[in-house]
Chain A
């Protein structure tokens, strides 16, 4: 269990319903004493991770859309406001590789541009409940993982971002044909608010599992967690 997970109590203030009130302790704001309800909810969230992994069919594709169905203007969303977006220098940018990878040499943007590309018009569903349709183009992650000699039997693909955001996905979802290292959005190179220079696009998962402005990618068997996941959002968060 990650300590960060405990920082924010899942329960918050007192419950409206008495029957559930019996489950709550009085220490739920204390990071080292998650109450009974917090622990029960975490256990259920882990169970839901396993159920979603079992439900995940590698051959089921996320629905694709026509160009006229693309949401315009695109919707910006992050854990900060638009004016706080970090601007990455594409010339000096590199993608660091770590973990169970045979060739851990960093990748430059031009090298990713020269790799095979996959284009998709897919839907992004936010955990909040809204959805948008966008067009992304980039390097299939399954191609990239094979190219760098990643251990495809490892459990997690972990990513870190220029803005401090981080997340991780299961290997089965990483190898899904529609999971790409996106370089273009709406037919042009990604702009900083939408993840320049590289965004992990995972159309089989919720929006927050699509981290932007990647700076490092690793393969590991130790649960890397994530920015939102560690605060209590369900880790698998598949669609």
Chain B
């Protein structure tokens, strides 16, 4: 038996799923940008130097391969989070008051980081990006199968609207990633626990 003192900040299933998701989501975003470029819905394109696949056929092949990793890993994460109590313990939706308080502290750069404890802003961001991930998958299925999954296509308002929703979900996830990576850059000691696990007991303030 491990002592409570050596309990990791991030248990191993979470770490494995986190990095699989990172691989899947970066592949989805990079190939998705290349697919978008074949018929842009806004007045800009993504430079090919930052896309995955270089041409439409390859980008679609990457996108429809990585979707399986994204979806299966995502389902595993949701099931694990619900069954292990992770969501209940770590990701309880914040109250508006707590969110306001922590947001103000964060913007003044006075919000402490405690390993393994998510503040209200973090919880709001994590819950938000999980919701965006679900939205991206559902709208993506609507774009992929507008005939067979016609009810899903109708739910999003048809083929073109599904494309717009899919794009906006991507944009939200990219926005989350920008904040997520900026915070890791500001507080680099949070990176190792997501790789090696870390130890929750060491970090009690």
A17 & B27 in contact (Cβ 8 Å cutoff): yes
| Chain A residue nearest in CB terms to B23 | A19
Using A232-B58, A233-B60 as known contacts, say yes or no to A12 and B53 having CB atoms under 8 A apart: yes
Contact partner, B52, options A16, A44, A48, Cβ 8 Å: A16
A128-B56 contact given A16-B30, A19-B23, A44-B65, CB 8 Å threshold: yes
CA of A206 to CA of B61, assembled, Å? 15
Task: Flag if A15 contacts B58 (CB, 8 Å).
Answer: no
A8–B65 alpha-carbon span in the complex (Å): 18
Complex alpha-carbon distance, A118 and B162, angstroms: 30
Cα of A60 to Cα of B146 in the assembled complex, Å: 11
Is B131 an interface residue, CB under 8 A from the partner?
no
**Would you give the shortest CB distance from B168 to chain A, in whole angstroms?**
15
**A76 nearest CB across to chain B (Å):** 15
* Contact in complex: B146, A125 (CB < 8 Å): yes
For A129, what are the chain B residues with a Cβ–Cβ distance below 8 Å?
Answer: 35-36, 38-39, 41, 163
**How many Å from the CB of A66 to the closest CB on chain B?**
14
- Given A40-B65, A41-B62, residue A128 in contact with residue B39 (CB < 8 A): yes
Fill in one digit per residue for B32-50: 1 if any A CB lies within 8 Å of its CB, else 0. Answer: 0001101101000000011
Partner of A11, one of B41, B54, B64, B146: B54
Chain A, range 122-149, C-beta contacts under 8 Å to B: 123, 125-131
Contacts of A45 in B (CB 8 A): 61, 64-65
- Residues in B with CB closer than 8 Å to A17 are 26-27, 30, 52
- Cβ of A195 < 8 Å from any Cβ of B? no
The reply to whether the CB of A168 lies closer than 8 angstroms to some CB of chain B is no
What is the bound-complex CA distance between A188 and B191, given in angstroms?
A: 65
Q: Are B52 and A20 in contact (CB under 8 A)?
A: yes
Q: Flag if B60 contacts A127 (CB, 8 Å).
A: yes
Q: Is B160 an interface position by the 8 A CB rule? A: yes
B27, B64, B160: the one contacting A131 at CB < 8 Å is B160
B57 within 8 A of A: yes
A47 to chain B, nearest CB (A): 8
Q: Does B21 sit within 8 A of A, measured CB to CB?
A: no
The interface residues of chain B, by DSSP majority, are classed as: helix
B57 and A239 contact, CB distance less than 8 A: no
Determine if A117 is an interface residue (Cβ-Cβ < 8 Å). no
Bound-complex Cα distance A13 to B58 (A): 11
Q: Are B50 and A16 in contact (CB under 8 A)?
A: yes
Q: How many residue pairs between the two chains, A and B, have CB atoms under 8 Å in the bound complex?
A: 100
Q: Contact between A234 and B147 (Cβ–Cβ < 8 Å)?
A: no
Residue A119 is within 8 A (CB to CB) of chain B in the complex: no
Map CB proximity to B onto A150-171 as digits: 1 under 8 Å, 0 otherwise: 0000000000000000000000
Task: Say yes or no: is B68 at the interface (Cβ < 8 Å to chain A).
Answer: yes
Name the residue in B23, B53, B57, B60 with the highest tally of chain A Cβ atoms < 10 Å from its Cβ. B57
Among B30, B51, B61, B68, contact of A10 (Cβ-Cβ < 8 Å): B61
Once the chains are docked, how many angstroms separate the CA of A8 from the CA of B52?
Answer: 15
**Which residue of the partner chain B has the closest CB to A44?**
B65
Judge whether B148 and A238 touch: CB under 8 Å. Answer: yes
Inside 8 A of A123's CB, which chain B residues have their CB?
Answer: 159
Q: Is residue A62 within 8 Å, beta carbon to beta carbon, of the partner chain?
A: yes
Nearest chain B residue, comparing its CB with the CB of A45: B61
Q: Is the CB of B147 within 8 A of A204?
A: yes
B145 within 8 A of A: yes
Confirm or deny: A79 has a beta carbon within 8 angstroms of a beta carbon on chain B: no
Given contacts A125-B146, A239-B148, whether A16 and B51 have CB atoms under 8 Å apart is: yes
- The contact sample of 8 A-B pairs, CB cut-off 8 A, is A11-B58, A44-B64, A45-B65, A125-B146, A129-B163, A204-B148, A228-B57, A232-B57
Q: Please list the 7 inter-chain residue pairs (A to B) with the smallest Cβ-Cβ separation, ordered nearest first.
A: A12-B54, A129-B39, A44-B65, A232-B57, A128-B38, A239-B147, A10-B58
Beyond A11-B54, A204-B147, A238-B145, 16 extra complex contacts between A and B, CB < 8 Å: A12-B55, A16-B30, A17-B26, A20-B23, A20-B52, A42-B61, A44-B64, A57-B148, A60-B148, A123-B159, A127-B38, A204-B148, A232-B61, A233-B56, A233-B57, A238-B148
